[in-house]
Copies of this chain bind each other. A is one copy, B any other.
Amino acid sequence: MKKLSRPNLHLALVHYPVVNKAGETIASAVTNLDIHDIARAAETYGARSFYMVTPLTDQTDLVRSIVRHWTSGNGATYNPKRRQALELIRMAEDLKQVTDDIRKEGERPRVVVTSARKSKNTVGYTGMRRKIADGRPYLLVFGTGWGLASEIIEKADFRLEPVRGNTDYNHLSVRSATAIILDRLLGCDR
């Protein structure tokens, strides 16, 4: 497919509200490699920002200190490529703060949620790829833990079709799912 010039796509990784194995709503802990892997994939595919969403101040402080290390601390000198990726990271307490922040650039983003579970009214990858090409802002939302809480899924503008591989097993890490979804929506050499 045709290369998209500067997609107006933003990412959010949600740590609350998400569900645990038992289906209960929880706040998950931040995972260091989520920060790095998703920021690097976001930079590779030209996303404009990557929001880490958590209402917990200790978790926010932790992410900020990791990001600071790689964007202005010793890490920035050691690995400037990592700095470039981690500069995409923003912090937010909830999704509303994310959409408000993006809206400051002109327009409220359309919220696209991802899930490993099948649901009704999902949009496929070709369809979503076409939408993103309209140049309007889109916010692609990923859940940690066992996935986004239903209140987030229900309020979204679009639900993206789950990634299926070549089997019935659908337990990708959020890091892997993000990489695959960005490649499907924005990859230019396929």
Contact = CB atoms under 8 A, between A and B. Distances in A.
A178 B41 CA distance: 12
Given A37-B173, A180-B179, A165 B46 contact: yes
Nearest to A45: B165
A176 B125 contact: no
Give the contact-size bracket for chain A: 35 or more
A188 interface: yes
Contacts of A178: 176
Contacts of A176: 37, 40-41, 175-176, 178-179
A183 interface: yes
A165 B180 contact: no
A29 B165 CA distance: 29
Contacts of A130: none
Contacts of A43: 167, 169, 171
13 contacts: A4-B166, A33-B175, A44-B163, A44-B165, A44-B170, A85-B171, A161-B189, A164-B189, A175-B176, A179-B180, A180-B183, A183-B183, A184-B190
Interface of A: 3-4, 7, 21, 33, 36-37, 40-41, 43-46, 79, 81-82, 84-85, 125, 161, 163-167, 169-173, 175-180, 182-184, 186-190
